[in-house]
Structure 1
Amino acid sequence: MKETPRTVRIAVGLWLAIAVFVLFTTAGLWFQRGQVQELTKWSSGQVTSFLLTLTVIAVLFAAAYAWLTRTFLRRKNWARIALSTVAVVHMIWILFLGVSAANLVTLLLICAAIVFTWQSAAAQWVAEVREQ
């Protein structure tokens, strides 16, 4: 069995970085809850509800990225498709939330991960399993 191509290793690193970054960004919002309340003029309960919703969604995205990345490493082509689909949904979610530095970084990481996931070396690496 051939060694994992560099593009696949980079893609895997980017997908896992996205998962971790999303969790850390969401955790950071909990520490800034006073600023969130001040900016939005929401009650404490509304801010808590908003942050809980963001946390649940962030955990779901992170879990999906982690599981699908692991599956991609097992050379399952459908995992590449699923990763890209989850990423597009995630990008739409980010655009729905609004502009911030953290969201911009996440969008850039997602774009880079998709590019590396669909490089020809990654496609050939996944296809080798089907040929055996």
Structure 2
Amino acid sequence: MNDAPKPVRVAVGLWLAIAVFVLFTTIGLWFQRGEIERMSGRPSGDVTNFLVALTVVGVLFAALYGWLTRNFLRRKNWARVAVSFVAIAHMLWLLIVGTSPATLVTLLLICVAIVFTWQSAAAQWVAEVREK
């Protein structure tokens, strides 16, 4: 990563930060389980099923971000494209599930990460491998 231009380093940092933030947010929801039950008025089993679904999706997104970021660092252009599509799917998922301060932070981080991922310096850096 030492030879990567600044936009690539920033993008990689943001993608990894998003992955970690998603995991911490998901863990935080489990600590708020009682509050979620009280606010939703749903039975305990329904809240548990909801949290399990959110956990599975959160871990899936975090794993995809980690794996795709690793491949992006290996100068794989397909990973740059794929992480962008995963991010768009993640954004849609967040908007469907509902907004919260954590959701808004995640959406902002994703937008900034996409911008850095698609800067011309990042494209040139990935393209250098194909030229050699």
TM-score, normalised to structure 2, is: 0.98
The Cα shift of 1:99 comes to: 1.2
The Cα shift of 1:89 comes to: 0.3
Q: Deviations over 1:76-95 (max 9, x none)?
A: 00001000000000000000
- Equivalent residue runs for 1:1-132 within 5 Å: 3-132=3-132
Q: Deviations over 1:91-127 (max 9, x none)?
A: 0000001110000000000000000000000000000
Report SS of the residue matched to 2:12.
helix
Q: Which amino acid aligns with 2:99?
A: V
What is the rounded CA distance, in whole Å, between the counterparts of 1:41 and 1:23 in structure 2? 26
Q: Which amino acid aligns with 1:68?
A: L
Report SS of the residue matched to 1:11.
helix
Cα RMSD between the aligned structures? 0.8
* Percentage of matched positions with identical amino acids: 70
Give the number of equivalent residue pairs. Answer: 131
Q: Which amino acid aligns with 1:76?
A: K
* Unmatched tracts of structure 2, length 5 or more: none
* More deviation, 2-11/70-79: 2-11
The Cα shift of 1:26 comes to: 0.5
What is the rounded CA distance, in whole Å, between the counterparts of 1:9 and 1:120 in structure 2? 14
TM-score, normalised to structure 1, is: 0.98
Runs of 4+ in 1 over 4 A off after TM superposition: none
Q: Which amino acid aligns with 2:28?
A: G
